[in-house]
Structure 1
């Protein structure tokens, strides 16, 4: 019985292996058969409107006149503005498209008004003639007579109260570095000039404070034989004084 079962299993195994071999040979012959070739053929493209070849267009570049170097005029006080139009990158067969400039909406009237914390300065310089200087031993009593009080910051301040009380109206500083005075060494101190300045808006009556500043500048200039200059270190004129007055009035309104 065991022998017969063994023979049956051997016969079944031979049949299975033979069937696999036959199937494999049939598959290989089918792949190599020339009948499969027509399915891989590509039909030629018909000349229809949908397949009409497109001729590449040359990129359209926005033309603009480039200024020569001799035509450039830069003002250090004015920011330079780039007025060129934004363009898209140039790629194969793509046209350069100019992006339209965005339309700016008008600002509300409330936003155009100057903010409340805007400030400005009035500056007056007192310059000694070339080769001469102010001696600290003479400058100290002069500023004390005009009501200035020495501060911890190293400046002389003119307060609303001549006794040195209340808000500061304007200050007197050294015109040259470091800008301060050494109160303990005024006998050895000297400078070629000093400066008076006030911050706008100021406490109290702005026009009265400016008149005091201008009067102090003239007295110091007369004391030392110095020249009064404006903020740009140009000779102070009557017209420039009027401009300072208008500047103070603008912050006093």
Structure 2
């Protein structure tokens, strides 16, 4: 029994050796087969290396494209108004008493009443659209001295060095009418007390200043320049 097993094992070894020898002999006689085998192995190795690299490159490209697309849409969806056409929120004028000529509180109180300016919220005076405190405020008048409010009960016994007159902008066409009334009121106060009318930089009021204010209240659209071909 042992002799049979030994014989079979020897036969298997001879068969394996024979197959190997035949394979080597075939490769030596057919070098084209060896080249084909080497190329196939190289192709598989290159594919295993290049495929993850290509996948990574595609992922990076996708992320960059997505980021650029989001940024582009954000810029396109965010309207940016030209600086020249930007409207301020508040327009301000000052009426400042001249040196040694402060405005007497009782006289100012009477004059503001004459100009339909009513004492109200925040302890300052307001000009209402229809003379009623329930109507829309067109503009307001505050004390030029901080904190800006008036003690209306003590006002007849005090002097006022100046007024800050301001209006909040809402709608350009109506704002122009309100500004005209505000400017007229400021001019009448300045004339009554021989005071100075100043702009928002506390510079003397001039004719050109009025036009500048009007342009800020209702900016003119920027003309579109068409390019002509030569």
**Whole-Å separation in 2 of the counterparts to 1:194 and 1:188:** 17
Higher RCO (C-alpha 8 Å, min separation 6): 2
Equivalent in 112, 118, 121 of residue 79 of structure 2:
112
Matched with 2:151 is 182
Aligned-residue offset at 1:129: 1.0
Q: 1:248 to 1:162 in 2, by over 3 A?
A: same
Equivalent in 127, 130, 133 of residue 158 of structure 1:
127
Backbone CA RMSD of aligned residues: 2.6
Aligned-residue offset at 1:170: 0.6
Aligned-residue offset at 1:203: 9.3
Deviations 1:17-76 (A, max 9, x none): xxxxxxxxxxxxxxxxxxxxxxxxxxxxxxxxxxxxxxxxxxxxxxxxxxxxxxxxxxxx
Q: 1:153 to 1:204 in 2, by over 3 A?
A: farther
Are the counterparts in 1 of residues 172 and 217 from structure 2 also a CA contact under 8 Å?
no
Equivalent in 100, 125, 137 of residue 168 of structure 1:
137
Is 1:210 the counterpart of 2:179? The answer is yes
Aligned-residue offset at 1:108: 2.8
SS in 2 for 1:183: coil
TM-score, length of structure 2 as denominator length: 0.58
Is 1:238 the counterpart of 2:225? The answer is no
TM-score, length of structure 1 as denominator length: 0.53
- Structure 2 residue runs of 5 or longer lacking an equivalent are 1-67, 82-86, 221-230
- Structure 1 residue runs of 5 or longer lacking an equivalent are 1-102
